[in-house]
Structures are given as C-alpha cells and as structure tokens.
A and B are shown apart, each in its own frame.
Chain A
Amino acid sequence: MSLLEVRDITMRFGGLTAVDGVTFDLHQGEILAVIGPNGAGTTTLFNAITGVYQPTQGSVKFRGAEVRRSPDLKLAVRTAVVGILGAISTFMALNAQEIWTAAIDANYLLDKPFPWHKALADAWATARAAPLVWGIIPAMVGGVLGAATVLALWQRLRRTPDLIARAGLARTFQNIRLFTDLSLIENVLVGMDSRLRCGYWTNVLRLPAFSRERSRSTAEAMELLAFVGLADRAHAAAGSLPYGHRRRLEIARALASNPTVLLLDEPAAGMNPSEVTSLMQLIQRVRERGVTVILIEHHMKLVMGISDRIVVLQYGRKIGEGTPQEIQADRRCIEAYLGAEDEL
C-alpha cells in the first residue's frame, strides 16, 4: 500500500480550475518530483494536500485514511453546554438587576452572617416569576449559540494544516516563510512543537518535566541545525540569514516534527549552481533519515538527478508520470515543459 494516495484532486477558484483531477501515489522512502510550467497548479496541489486549501473534489489518504478530526460525543456535549449556558446567561443578563436585588440586597445586612440558602431560594423564585418573554429570548439566543458552535466545531473537522502537520506531513513554502524575528533554534523548536508535551502550567511553574524537555528539545534542534549546516548561527535571527541558508533552515524546521513525508515547494528557486548541488546532497541525506520526499521544482538538473519518479502537470492536469528516463523520453512532457525540438 502506498504511503500517500492522492485521488482525483480538483481545485476550482470560481471559474478557474487550477488543479483538475490529479491522481498519484507516493511510496515509502522515495523522492517524487512534481514538475510543470509556472501556473500548472503545482503549488495549488501542495496546498490542497497540506490542508491550506480544501480540495473542491477528491481525497488525500495518508496511510490509507483521510486526515480529519472525527465527529464524536465531545462535539455533541460541547454544543449542548454552549447552548444551555448561553440561554442561562442571557436570561441572567436580562434579569440581573431583579435577581441581584432580591437575592443579595434584600438579604444582606452589614455585619450579619449572610443567609446563603435563603438568597439562592429568593434568586430562584425571582427567576421563576420572570415574564415568559424573558424566557423566549434566551432560548433563541441559546439555540443560535448552539448552532454557531456546531458550525465552528464542524469547521474543525475539516482537514486543517495543523492537523495534517501533526499527522506527519511537513512542508516548506515557495516564498520562504520563516519566523524572521525568532532565532534559528527557535524556528526549529516551533517546528518541533507537535512533539513537545509540556503544558501551560508546567511551563509557568518550571516543573522538572520542563527542564528535561527543554534540554532534550534544544539538543535535538541543534542536531537538526548541524544537519543542514547552520549550527554555528543557532542564536542569530532567522531574518539575518542569506537566501540560500533560509531554505535550509526551512527544511530543518520542517524536519523538526519528525515527519513521515516532507513536501518541498521549489527548494532550489533562486539558488546558484553550487548551492543547488549541496541542496541535492541535503535532500538525499533527508531521504536517508527515512523521510519520504515530494518536491516541486523547475531546476531540471536537480529533478533528474535525485528523483525516483516524476509527475508532470500542465494546465492543472497530469500529463505524465514515470522515472526520469521515461519522462525525458515522453513526447508530451517534452513539449509541455522540457521544450519541444523545432520541427521546421
């Protein structure tokens, strides 16, 4: 069974069909390149796979299943709680003054013990005596709030990027998106977030678990920075890096989550030939770590040099798939992208 099954993915933006029924498989441990002329829909395909866009049609299965949150009892309970609390608090808000006066002001005398039971009983009695219309409005508000919660939680059931990242698909971006004001190591640690377990109060109180996790995660982050060759600048701001190094930092950040699949969006864009060569070595070493790689790339030397298989897109459609040799021999692919020979 293949690791990632992309089935019939279609992305429409209004009248424009950016990706049209693309289907391919990704196998464990391979390097798959997706190529196509600019505007062929490669990045849109990536965005659809990683959950940035919701595909208009089609499915992406990772290890045989779609990555989604499943609707469960919690959803129903939360909806009910929000609805009921909304109704109650609206009712209280509408009658706050009367209830307060009856329960607190009427019962409280300075320096006398406060009769809590009587106050509660009075509050209840006042609430019961409220006109019916004060009951209808809260019920409506509660209903609306409950419905809104269902909608909001339903949205959470979609394939969101954070869910997909946590499932093991990490990515880089075509227009590098680093956290430029954070240091290199912090960038990598953000990438590692899904593997960190310390909660809010553990962090505030600096419980022992915090120090343990901090030393472990810092060591791992330094190891990753060394892996991409940036360890010596670990505490510099990411924004201070030169262009080629930013690409490497993005890769380190993506690797920090221990992904199964790494999606690289034009990793060689804007690099000079020697940087491309070292990038190729880096991608090979990423594969040796046991990470499966999909990459979008226009740099043919890189694509033909390292990929096991190639998928070719044109105008959003897949027009070819195969090994680099097969693609180089495929007439349609050559015409679409590699450049047709002149037939004068």
Chain B
Amino acid sequence: MRPRMNPILIFFAVAAALPMFFGATGLFYDAFQSIFVFALVGLGLNIITGFTGMLNLGMAAFMAIGAYAFAILTCDIYPFQVGFWSGLLLSGFIGALAGFLIGAPTLGLSGDYLAIVTMGFGEITLDVLKNLEAITKGTQGINPLPRPTIGGWTIELQDERSWYYLLLLILGVAVLFVRRLERSRTGRAWLSIREDALASQCMGIPPKRTRMIAFATGSAVAAVGGALFAALLSSTGEPNSYDFQVSILVLCIIIVGGMGSVAGTLVGAAVMVGMNAIVLVKLADLFGSREQGASSNVLASPNNWKFLIFGLALILVVRVKPEGLVPPRLEGESGAQPPAPPKSQSGAAAQGAGA
C-alpha cells in the first residue's frame, strides 16, 4: 500500500501559505473568508448528514440562529455586549440548544420526513427573523458587530490578512473537534447508525439519543459558522442571506467533497464557494469589460449562471466520482498503522476460513 498524505494537513498547509503569494488585500481574501465560513457550516452538516445519515435541508437556519444570537449578544444596540469570543462560544451553545429543540420531537422520523421537517424549519426561521422586528430589526439586519480582540490587539475589518488567519485558526479548531469525535466511541456510534440503524440498536446503541447528540453538535458547529459569517460583514445581513439556497449550497459542498469526510468538506467548500467567489467574479469582470451593455443580456451576468454551474458540478461529481472528491477513509488505513502481512496469523486464518 502506498503511503498517502493526510489531505487535511495539506489543506491547512496550503491555506496557511497562500497569503504569501497575494497582497494584503484583494479579491482573494473575500473568497477565502467565505470558503472558511462555509467549510465550518459544511462540517456541521457533515456530522448530521455525512456521519449520522440524517438528511438536513435546513442548515441555513442554524447558521442564521448562530448569526443572530451572536449579533444580539454582542451588538452595542443591545445591553448584553458580551464581547467577541464569549459571543462566539455562546452562539455555538444556542445553536446546540436549537438543534436539541428541533431534534427532540423529529429525530424519530426517518430519512425523507426529517428532510422535509428541517426544510420547513429553515423557512419558519426566516419568517420569524423577518417579522420579529423589535428584536431582530427585521430586514435591516443587526449591525455593527464588534471586532475580535486578542490580548488587547483588535483585528480591524480592513485587516483582511489577520481575518484570514483568524478564520483559518477557528476552522482548524473545529476540524480537530470533529475529527476527535469521529475517531471515538461517539463518532463510531454515529457512523453505525448511518450504516444500519437496526443493527446498531441491537448492539446496544440508543438510536434517538445518539442522533440528538449528532444533531446538536452539527447545529452548534454551523451556528459558530453563522456567527463568523455575521462578524465578517459586521452585520447579520438581511434574513434572506440564510435562505434555502444557502442550505442547498452547504449540501452541495459535502456531496461534492465526499459525504462523511472531513477533508472532503474542506475541499468541497473550496471548490463550490471558490467557484462562486473567484471564477464567477472573474467571469463578471470579463463580460463587463467586453460588453458595456451587459444588463441587456441575461447570460452576460455570470451570477445568473451560478446555479447552472453548481448543478453541473453536482451532476459531474455524482456521475464520475459518486463518493466525492475526497472520500472518507478507514481509520488505521492511512499508514500510521501498517496492515499486518496477509498470512501473519495463518493458523487462525486457515482454521477460520476453513476453505
């Protein structure tokens, strides 16, 4: 077996080195900041859908809950003002709580029904955010949000390189968190439920409890992603920034990257969001320079191609590499623990095989 590099380490090494090749500001940072944020939300969905096998079509709602919780707790138009880091942590907890509340009555449902429920939850969340104007400021969004401080040093909004590394760091912590869970009793229980819920239950794993824990964990990670999304803009944006399309984008990320694969989620986010934030923007420039009256032609605005390209990417991946760009790997297969030579236990094996 040839030794393989750990794709997660490669991702972080490349991401840490990239800013050296770019200036201190620019399009590059915009793109990567959203890649990191969506990678976080993707990690959350990867726990729920990739590990535990519960199709969740309402991930944007948990992002929104995280963003609004963060905003209400930290924005200076409200009396709470807990500060950036506590706000981030608390929005994670509130996300987990929201996951518990929506999960408790619904996680007994199987596959498709749960997908419908989560989709409905996403829509309800949007409506609540729009209409609860006294608290959420309706469609204006809440702003301004505080900037993070590290030991007395404040990262300003314009300081894009620092933001880049801050997000990379938080993403790294989240990846470590998810990987550690995956490679433990907790994660094995999730995977076993995805593989065969009945067999898993007959092995003594309580299905509902295990699903709840997965759902709450995934929601918490996504809520932190949402909080960072808001912090980056210094505003929650309008509630429509968390609509169904966002949920689908996140689902595309984990399908393209590889269901149940942490490395795949990172790569999927880079591909899907990167396409959105780099390729489409470049295309827009191209069309804009070539043709001044671009608005007359629908196709001239690459934003209108977005979903065409997403759809094509999805079809291509599902047709050509259905397990995703970086499919999940078995533990111990990575070369850290070389597999025993085939006939090392020949006595037991021969007796075992009996053939």
Residue on A nearest B260 in the bound complex, by CB:
A181
Sample of 4 further A-B pairs with CB below 8 A, known A196-B185, A278-B354: A181-B195, A229-B345, A232-B340, A232-B343
Within 8 Å of chain B (Cβ to Cβ): is A100? Answer: yes
The stretch that binds B, out of A11-19, A36-44, A172-180, is A172-180
The stretch that binds B, out of A269-277, A306-314, A330-338, is A269-277
Contact call B204/A179, Cβ cutoff below 8 A:
no
**Interface mask (B326-351 → A, CB under 8 Å = 1, otherwise 0):** 00101111000101111111001111
Interface residues of B (CB under 8 A from A): 76-79, 105, 132-135, 177, 180-181, 184-189, 191-192, 195-196, 198-207, 213, 260, 328, 330-333, 337, 339-345, 348-355
A–B complex contacts, Cβ < 8 Å, 19 sampled:
A50-B202, A97-B133, A97-B135, A165-B201, A165-B202, A173-B202, A177-B199, A181-B195, A182-B188, A186-B331, A190-B189, A191-B203, A226-B348, A231-B349, A232-B344, A234-B339, A245-B352, A257-B203, A274-B354
How many residues of A are in contact with the other chain, CB < 8 A?
A: 69
The stretch that binds B, out of A21-29, A54-62, A103-111, A293-301, is A103-111
Complex-state Cα separation, A64 to B189, whole angstroms = 31
Query: B355 touches which one: A50, A233, A235, A275 (CB < 8 A)?
Result: A275
Contact call A272/B355, Cβ cutoff below 8 A:
yes
**Shortest Cβ gap from A251 to chain B (Å):** 11
Contact A100 B135, CB 8 Å, known A189-B188, A198-B185, A274-B355 = yes
Contact call A161/B198, Cβ cutoff below 8 A:
yes
Chain B contacts of A278 at CB under 8 A?
351-354
Contact call B330/A237, Cβ cutoff below 8 A:
yes
Chain A contacts of B181 at CB under 8 A?
200, 203-204
Contact call B352/A162, Cβ cutoff below 8 A:
no
Chain A contacts of B133 at CB under 8 A?
97
Residue on A nearest B177 in the bound complex, by CB:
A204
Residue on A nearest B207 in the bound complex, by CB:
A162
Within 8 Å of chain B (Cβ to Cβ): is A206? Answer: yes
Residue on B nearest A187 in the bound complex, by CB:
B192
Complex-state Cα separation, A96 to B6, whole angstroms = 49
Contact call A162/B204, Cβ cutoff below 8 A:
yes
**Interface mask (A275-309 → B, CB under 8 Å = 1, otherwise 0):** 10111011000000000000000000000000000
Contact call A228/B202, Cβ cutoff below 8 A:
no
Contact A178 B353, CB 8 Å, known A100-B135, A231-B348 = no
Which A residues from 108 to 149 make CB contacts under 8 A with B? Answer: 108, 110, 114, 119, 148
**Shortest Cβ gap from A109 to chain B (Å):** 9
Query: B188 touches which one: A186, A234, A282 (CB < 8 A)?
Result: A186
